[in-house]
Amino acid sequence: MNLVYGLLLQGAQMALVLALAPLLTGFVRKIKARLLRRRGAPLLQPYRDLVRLLRKDVVLAENASWLFRVTPYVIFAGSWVAASLVPTFGTGLLFSWTADLIAITALLGSVRFFLALAGMDVGTSFGGIGSSREVMIASFAEPAMLITVFAVAMIAGSTQLSTISEFMSSPAVGLRVSLGLGLFALIMVALAENARIPIDNPATHLELTMVHEAMVLEYSGRHLALIDLCSELKLLLYISLISCLFFSWGEAPPGAGLTALAVGAAAYAAKLALGGLLLAVFETSIAKMRVFRVPEFLGIALMLALLATLLRFVSGSL
């Protein structure tokens, strides 16, 4: 019975992230449009875009290899699994015991690896530019991400997200400087990983300034739909991750009843909305940085994460 319940819960979680991801992106776009005094596209527009792309034919470059065709499915699988590992409305996910925070980081790393390869596969200059910039950004973002993970894991005593989440919502956690540092490091990494301003601009039409968009410039049809859905999933994943690590209030504990689950779902929706709102406001108020400023930006994230780890070493209560 427990297994069935656990499976159901995990299934619900997987369906939820997939269903909510385009809505979150639509929500961020809507807020940004309103901040610019525009009316903006409807909230459901990302769903319509996905349907439109799925209906379209795929246009493939003549010299595209199997890698180019396989990549959208590989990265979709990777992103979906990663997103379904992060507790959303409740902890105690079934899969949580098989994969921890390090596994999530690794999954996202593989997703990027395949996407960067596919960007170079067709041999257009934009794909190459995009891949090289993406890998440069990743080489700074991934260490920062991992060290943040270590800092949090040392405080919570585990790399299991469910365990960390439960620890964070318990009174044992207290106020810790290292957690604050880790939070900022993770937010900076999240901005970079999701190709948001100031690192990249998801809405640009300027080929020469693109990072993520340049890599996927050659994709079309259902391939592009999957890649877009991946980006939307990734945004959802990072907001979920930040809220589950640092703001885990309201999450339903393992084996909780329906009421607790409903409370958890409502809290999760509120957290997502707040995250999206803050992201939109932040993106509107800042210009994109020069490509070569990105290492500095992510270097700060790395330093913050390192500092968080060091503080934890110096004193157990910091």
Partner 1 sequence: MALLDGIPCSSAVTSHRPWPRVVVDADGWQKAIDRLVANEIVLLGLWGDADVVHMALACPEGDAIAVISLECRGGTFPSVGARHAPARRLERAISDLFGLEAAGTPDDRPWLDHQRWDCAHPLGKGGRPKQAIPYRFLPSEGEGLHQVAVGPVHAGIIEPGHFRFAANGEFVVRLEGRLGYVHKGIEALMSGATLDGAARLACRTSGDSAVAYSYAFVSAVESALQIEVPARAVYLRALAAELERLGNHFGDIGAICNDASFALMHAQTGILRERCLRVAETCFGHRLMMDLILPGGLARDLAVDGHAAVTGLLAEIDRAFPRLIELYDKTASLQDRTVGTGVVKPAYARLFGAGGYVGRASGRPLDARRSPGYAPYRDLSFEVPTLQEGDVNARVWIRIREVEQSVQLIRQILAQLPAGAIRAALPSSGEPAEGLALVEAFRGDVLVWVRLDEDRRIARCHLRDASWFQWPLVEAAIEGNIIADFPLCNKSFNCSYSGHDL
In the complex, what is the shortest distance from the CB of residue 263 to partner 1, in angstroms, rounded to a whole number?
Answer: 37
Asked if 220 interacts with partner 1 (CB under 8 A), we say no
Contact 146, 185 (CB under 8 A): no
**One-letter amino acid for residue 182 of the chain:** G
Q: Which is nearer to partner 1, 173 or 278 (CB)?
A: 278
Contacting partner 1 (CB under 8 A), which of 10, 45, 158, 209?
209
In the complex, what is the shortest distance from the CB of residue 10 to partner 1, in angstroms, rounded to a whole number?
Answer: 38
CA distance 212 to 215: 5
Asked if 38 interacts with partner 1 (CB under 8 A), we say yes
Q: Which is nearer to partner 1, 94 or 294 (CB)?
A: 294
CA distance 147 to 185: 9
Contacting partner 1 (CB under 8 A), which of 170, 293, 314, 315?
293
Contacting partner 1 (CB under 8 A), which of 1, 62, 292, 316?
292
What are the helix (H) ranges across 122-220? 125-156, 161-169, 177-193, 212-215
Q: 99 — alpha (psi -120 to 50), left (phi > 0) or beta?
A: beta
Q: Which is nearer to partner 1, 99 or 190 (CB)?
A: 190
For residue 71, give every residue at least 6 positions away whose Cβ sits within 8 Å of its Cβ, in sequence order, or none: 114, 115, 117, 118
Which stretch, 29-37, 149-157, 271-279, 303-311, contacts partner 1 (CB under 8 A)?
A: 29-37
What is the chain's Cα-based Rg?
Answer: 19
For residue 303, give every residue at least 6 positions away whose Cβ sits within 8 Å of its Cβ, in sequence order, or none: none
Using CB under 8 A, count the residues that bind partner 1.
Answer: 30
Footprint of partner 1 on residues 113-172 (CB under 8 A)?
125-126, 128-129, 132
Asked if 55 interacts with partner 1 (CB under 8 A), we say no
Asked if 63 interacts with partner 1 (CB under 8 A), we say no
The encoded tokens of residue 130 equal 């995009």
Which stretch, 103-111, 163-171, 186-194, 290-298, contacts partner 1 (CB under 8 A)?
A: 290-298
Contacting partner 1 (CB under 8 A), which of 48, 52, 55, 290?
290
Asked if 77 interacts with partner 1 (CB under 8 A), we say no
Residues counted in the chain: 318
For residue 234, give every residue at least 6 positions away whose Cβ sits within 8 Å of its Cβ, in sequence order, or none: 79, 83, 108, 193, 194
Contact 173, 135 (CB under 8 A): no
Contacting partner 1 (CB under 8 A), which of 6, 72, 198, 250?
198
**DSSP class of 293:** G
In the complex, what is the shortest distance from the CB of residue 70 to partner 1, in angstroms, rounded to a whole number?
Answer: 26
Name the residues that contact partner 1, by CB under 8 A: 32, 35-38, 125-126, 128-129, 132, 197-198, 201, 203-209, 284-293
